Structure 1
Amino acid sequence: MWVVSLCLAVATLLYCVRWVYEWRKPRWNGVLPPGSMGLPLLGETLKILIPSYSLDLHPFIRKRVQRYGPIFRTSLAGRPIIFSVDPEFNNHILQQEGRLVEMWYFDTFAKILAMEGESRLSRVGLVHKYIRRIFLNHFGSDILREKLLQKIEEWVERCLRMWSSQPCIEVKEAASAMMFDFAGKQLFSYDADEASADATNERFNRFLRGFMAFPLNFPGTAYRRCLKEHRKLIDMLRGILKERLDSGKTSNVDFLDQAIDSMRDQEFLTEDFIVQLMFAGILASSESISTMLAMIFKLLSETPAVLAELRAEHKLILEKREQQSTALCWDEYKSMTFTMQVINETLRLANTVPGVLRRALQDIPVKGFTIPKGWSIMVVTTALHTNHNVFENPLEFNPWRWKDLDSGTVLKSFMPFGGGMRQCVGAEYTRAFLCAFLHVLVTKFRWTEIKIGNVYRNPILGFKDGVNVELSESWN
């Protein structure tokens, strides 16, 4: 028996050694991009989750670019993935949606964003066109020009007054609640004045805290708490949808009404998919804009000259108005030249994520290498934003640099909202919200820094100890 046991042990050991070898050096007919696959199953996941206290590229990416070149391979959470900081290849990939590549999420994101198998949010064709159209109907340029910009201004002023009544606010969490309430109102007429609103906002913030945590689904972990809060939020949205369906009444005033009306002639619009769309809309606006607002408070606190010029621009807007009580209009928004430079510079430095993910639909040749079908590709857009050849002193917050950048350079080297046919449908909404927020902030309020933590990437942008300020109304 001991001979049989020894043979089994040796066979198992040899199998494991071979499996590890093939994991670290995948066999492929073509030439794979250089790199390392890391540990079996885990890959190099732990290394990319190490916080970096800098706005520069995460060291995980920077060190491998220095060692392997602008296109390298690795493995994260058990998935083989190609990282690219090559501008030419990145631009090519983003233009090939539905042909060479498709949208893709890590399993942790997919589990949250998809409720019925593979997420339809990543599809192209009819579904993609419908999603873009319905979101543009409620958050696009036309609705912003007609009435949404004024609603944003009113909402921001209301929220800032509420913030000013508190001794201290943490900007990221307060802004996240503000964005949840506003997006919810546009999507499904959410009533932020209800008694349960504060509990819902806190639930959403608890969800966000675990959204980027290491995906260990065990009791007590941040990710487990994230999934728990996600289920409760989804149940809330399902309840809102069911109530609207049971009432049989739609007023065509919000996103949900339009989606319900479209169920008659759009077969893909199931109840689960509509809930998925509502949650994705809240998540996209709340997380990205709240992070930007926290970053704006931090950067303006550190650069008084920028704040002074911002105040001068918005004071001039008020002086040109015939009536001081008039709401912010589209022409005024479009006249905010320096404000838009501040926003562009903040977007350049503070992308929430390091890039966008795609999955190869076929073998893709690139510069002597081959990316195998089914492998993931991380288009590292933040590498463009810190390119020393395009942006002088790229880690410096300098809004004035945008006066001298030509449109061609900006088009190729500035992708805060992605690129190609998948460019973020909320790009104009994000810029308009940030402009309206700054307009109200610098004309009607002042703030004092209580505690502003350091920025870090792991690789998602965050703030150690938060951005804590005291806000007060200005009577100047």
Structure 2
Amino acid sequence: MWAVVAGAVAVITIIYSLRQWRNPECNGVLPPGSMGLPFIGESLELLVRSYSLDLHPFIKKRVQRYGAIFRTSLIGRPVVVSTDPELNHLIARQEGRLVEMWYLDSFSKLLKMEGENKISMLGLIHKHTRSIALNHFGADRIKKSLLPQIEHCVNKTLREWSRQPSVEVKRAASVMTFDFSAKYLFGYDAEKSPVNMSEKLSNTLKSLMSFPLNIPGTAYHKCLKDREEFLNMLRNITEERLASPEKHRSTGDFLDQAINIEGDNDQKVFSSELIINILFALSFVSFDSISTPLSLTIKLLADHPSVLQELTAEHEEILKKRENPNAILTWDEYKSMTFTLYVINETLRLGFVAPGLLRKVLKDIEYKGYTIPVGWTVILANPALHLHPNTYNDPLTFNPWRWKDIDRDVVSKNFMPFGGGVRQCAGADYSKAFMATFLHVMVTKYRWKKVKGGNIVRNPILGFVDGIHVNVSEKRD
């Protein structure tokens, strides 16, 4: 008898829980959609591979079914996905009031130490972090001193590539951009370092979209070990700076400024542990934000000879105007690269690395009759904006010339490769300058051909099935 009663109670409880899961509480009307299975939600569909630059099927199918705004659940979290440009623009402008920055649990836990959530803390000190980042990677720094340093790095890298039978571009470009950025972040010297930090970071990135299950044998467990080794290196560097300030006073990198910046009452703004985690987060950004679009650019140029021809002509014209063809690239020359910027914009439009930007809702958001509840996550699916046929004619076609005639007001709400609002990436100018400089050196001094790979895959982060391998050789006059 009691067994029957217990069984009935269990069934009722399960049914009630499923009903609650599928119909979450809301002080209004939720956007349409499905919550999927408990805990898992609809996560497995998001991780299905797609072999196209088109919008990931997870989002595309639901937009067709539910409209521009829909609800779902990913790894047990209630989520609203927005492909609506007005809502995305609104949320970008309301950072810190309606929403705050948030990441999937697998990444949030990578930036979490005991007793402190680093993502939340980064939100609170965003003003200081952004200011320091702009000091070292902003337009003024690029103009004054960084541009020739980038060119020197690119020249060295391409010489090394030309001495190899072939190079896997994504991996090699990641190492190039990380080693260069890390020098200005914390004085990293790849040639002298006993540990290959870019390799540790690469292993960590591989598990970014994995379930956060810390069990031996899982990818996430391996990711945590590599993350700890990377953090320990940053910790050692930071502690050495703190122990010997006189020795490192003239370093002048991001770490040096972060250590010494003071707030009210002459108190240090950043603790040493927070500095370490900020450096870790910025290392993530420097590792992937340039290398992936740069790799995609090389693939697209190889596939579109007419674009490569006009790009090359623009850079050869720059050399013709110089008194000394071997002079270093100047700021004015960089700013004259009109078609190069078109190519970069078009690559960024097609090649948005992640499926969207994640924000956590701080207050109920009312929009077009729907309510997005406090505590939920919003995914600003900006790739959908980049591929909307009403804004970009024939959106899946690589067409840099389209940027000649696109209205700036339209672009401001429908082109957000570096985020928007107060969370506009401080490294946006740096990324574009690095890509433009790389293209300048590559098309004026080198030839290359794709020898293997280049097939696109999204799962849901953009990548290549077997990488993209190229053979690089110096031009001989």
TM-score tier (shorter) = over 0.9
Q: 2:94 aligns with which of 88, 93, 96?
A: 96
SS state at 2:329 partner: coil
* Matching residue's letter, 1:90: N
1:154-233 → structure 2 map (5 Å cutoff): 154-194=152-192, 196=194, 199-233=196-230
Partner of 1:306: 307
1:281-360 → structure 2 map (5 Å cutoff): 281-360=282-361
1:146-157 → structure 2 map (5 Å cutoff): 146-157=144-155
Shifted more, 50-59 versus 219-228: the winner is 219-228
| Cα separation, 1, equivalents of 2:193 and 2:338 | 41
Partner of 2:364: 363
SS state at 2:358 partner: strand
The Cα shift of 1:267 comes to 4.0
* Matching residue's letter, 2:192: E
SS state at 2:207 partner: helix
Contact kept, 8 Å, 1:183 with 1:281, in 2: the verdict is no
| Cα separation, 1, equivalents of 2:325 and 2:150 | 18
Partner of 1:427: 428
The Cα shift of 1:412 comes to 1.8
| Cα separation, 2, equivalents of 1:159 and 1:121 | 37
Contact kept, 8 Å, 2:68 with 2:84, in 1: the verdict is yes
The Cα shift of 1:213 comes to 3.1
Unmatched 5+ stretches in structure 2: none
| Cα separation, 2, equivalents of 1:129 and 1:61 | 33
Partner of 1:12: 10
* Matching residue's letter, 2:358: L
SS state at 1:328 partner: coil
Q: How many equivalent residue pairs? A: 472
* Matching residue's letter, 1:228: K
| Cα separation, 2, equivalents of 1:195 and 1:207 | 19
The Cα shift of 1:114 comes to 3.1
| Cα separation, 2, equivalents of 1:371 and 1:120 | 21
Shifted more, 46-55 versus 253-262: the winner is 253-262
SS state at 1:470 partner: strand
Partner of 1:259: 258
Partner of 2:419: 418
Quickly say closer, same or farther: Cα 1:336–1:467, change in 2 above 3 A: same
SS state at 1:81 partner: strand
Quickly say closer, same or farther: Cα 1:266–1:137, change in 2 above 3 A: farther
Q: Percent identity?
A: 53
Contact kept, 8 Å, 2:105 with 2:212, in 1: the verdict is no
| Cα separation, 1, equivalents of 2:367 and 2:233 | 46
Partner of 2:239: 242
| Cα separation, 2, equivalents of 1:203 and 1:301 | 31
- TM-score calculated relative to the size of structure 2: 0.96
* Matching residue's letter, 1:462: G
* Matching residue's letter, 1:465: D
The Cα shift of 1:361 comes to 0.9
SS state at 2:215 partner: coil
* Matching residue's letter, 1:327: I
Shifted more, 421-430 versus 466-475: the winner is 466-475
1:82 aligns with 2:83: no
Show CA shifts across 1:177-217 (max 9, x none).
Answer: 111110110111111212635x3332222222222334333
| Cα separation, 2, equivalents of 1:122 and 1:367 | 32
SS state at 1:52 partner: coil
The Cα shift of 1:253 comes to 1.8
| Cα separation, 2, equivalents of 1:18 and 1:114 | 34
| Cα separation, 1, equivalents of 2:464 and 2:475 | 27
- TM-score calculated relative to the size of structure 1: 0.96
* Matching residue's letter, 1:256: L
The Cα shift of 1:87 comes to 1.0
Shifted more, 102-111 versus 201-210: the winner is 201-210
Partner of 1:106: 104
* Matching residue's letter, 1:255: F
| Cα separation, 2, equivalents of 1:289 and 1:397 | 19
SS state at 1:447 partner: strand
* Matching residue's letter, 1:417: F
The Cα shift of 1:121 comes to 5.9
| Cα separation, 2, equivalents of 1:212 and 1:107 | 9
Contact kept, 8 Å, 2:169 with 2:470, in 1: the verdict is yes
Partner of 2:117: 118
* Matching residue's letter, 1:12: A
* Matching residue's letter, 2:362: L
Q: CA RMSD in A?
A: 1.5
Contact kept, 8 Å, 2:101 with 2:359, in 1: the verdict is yes
| Cα separation, 2, equivalents of 1:226 and 1:157 | 33
Contact kept, 8 Å, 1:104 with 1:122, in 2: the verdict is no
| Cα separation, 2, equivalents of 1:103 and 1:441 | 37
Partner of 1:475: 476
| Cα separation, 2, equivalents of 1:147 and 1:114 | 35
Unmatched 5+ stretches in structure 1: none
| Cα separation, 1, equivalents of 2:295 and 2:326 | 28
Contact kept, 8 Å, 1:216 with 1:223, in 2: the verdict is yes
Show CA shifts across 1:272-295 (max 9, x none).
Answer: 111111111111121111101110
SS state at 1:456 partner: strand
* Matching residue's letter, 1:210: S
Contact kept, 8 Å, 1:115 with 1:273, in 2: the verdict is no
Contact kept, 8 Å, 2:351 with 2:462, in 1: the verdict is yes
Show CA shifts across 1:312-340 (max 9, x none).
Answer: 11111111111123111100000000100
| Cα separation, 1, equivalents of 2:197 and 2:96 | 37
| Cα separation, 2, equivalents of 1:129 and 1:188 | 20
SS state at 1:74 partner: strand
Show CA shifts across 1:50-84 (max 9, x none).
Answer: 01111111111111111111111110000000001
Q: 2:53 aligns with which of 31, 42, 55?
A: 55
